[in-house]
Chains A and B, each alone.
Chain A
């Protein structure tokens, strides 16, 4: 199910409002529900591109929010966006999932393929093939590079925001992104 791209911080960035909401969510279900609604799609998108299908993305999204619910009282708002904490939980969960399952799917992404077909039915087969290939190449990248690509393009975060999420400097992310793009391009050209 495709949706329109939204700003990285729909709530206007991590601020006092978010800090208050997080403190309230430790004791108030409705406040946690608000946080959940704010970040569900972002976490889901991330997990969908990491797993490649809805069933696993749903399962892992559920685990992320359950873990967040349980560990929220231990969360300290140190100025970093709340999403950074959630992405870290998601990253650990997906890493453990790959380790436990011993699988790394390179098929799926049915929705993304459908999207391209709807856009331009004339060249749908070619586009679908192209898209499948590109997504396979992304999925073969190391974890950190996959994260950068997904956060940048699917989630719309800037280098600085990705740096906050991954605990790296903006410069480090810029350099990592550039290297990732070069790697992808090299592999893409080989395929072409």
Chain B
């Protein structure tokens, strides 16, 4: 039966540091450092990108709210007109017909 100590020994012998495959370290270093921008510049660009994204999202949200409000207004207008028409029709139906005076 494996004791805790024995398990620790197994872990120590099996989990060893691993190096990347040949050529990877220099390839990645070149890729990282060959860019024309320094970290500070990249961060500025990153922030500008974030601001642009947030602005776009904000404008999109405003446009959506405006569109919803417009459609809501139109629906309300139509409903209002319908109610008025119904009211007018009801009043029209309740009216008594006035006969024209007959000639003597």
Contacts and interface: CB of A to CB of B under 8 A. Distances in A.
Given A72-B39, A73-B40, A188 B28 contact: no
B8 A181 contact: yes
Given A71-B43, A73-B40, A189-B1, A58 B15 contact: no
Interface string B3-22: 11001101110111111111
Question: Main SS of chain A's interface residues?
Answer: helix
Interface size class of A (residues with CB under 8 A): 35 or more
B4 A70 contact: no
Interface size class of B (residues with CB under 8 A): 20 to 34
Contacts of A116: 14
16 contacts: A5-B17, A28-B38, A32-B39, A40-B20, A40-B25, A41-B18, A54-B20, A57-B20, A61-B20, A62-B28, A112-B18, A134-B10, A153-B15, A154-B16, A185-B7, A189-B1
Interface of B: 1-4, 7-8, 10-12, 14-22, 24-25, 28-29, 31-33, 38-40, 42-43, 46
Interface of A: 1-6, 25-29, 32-33, 36-37, 40-42, 44-45, 48-49, 54, 57-58, 61-62, 65-66, 69-74, 111-112, 115-116, 130-131, 134-135, 149-150, 153-156, 181-182, 184-185, 188-189, 192
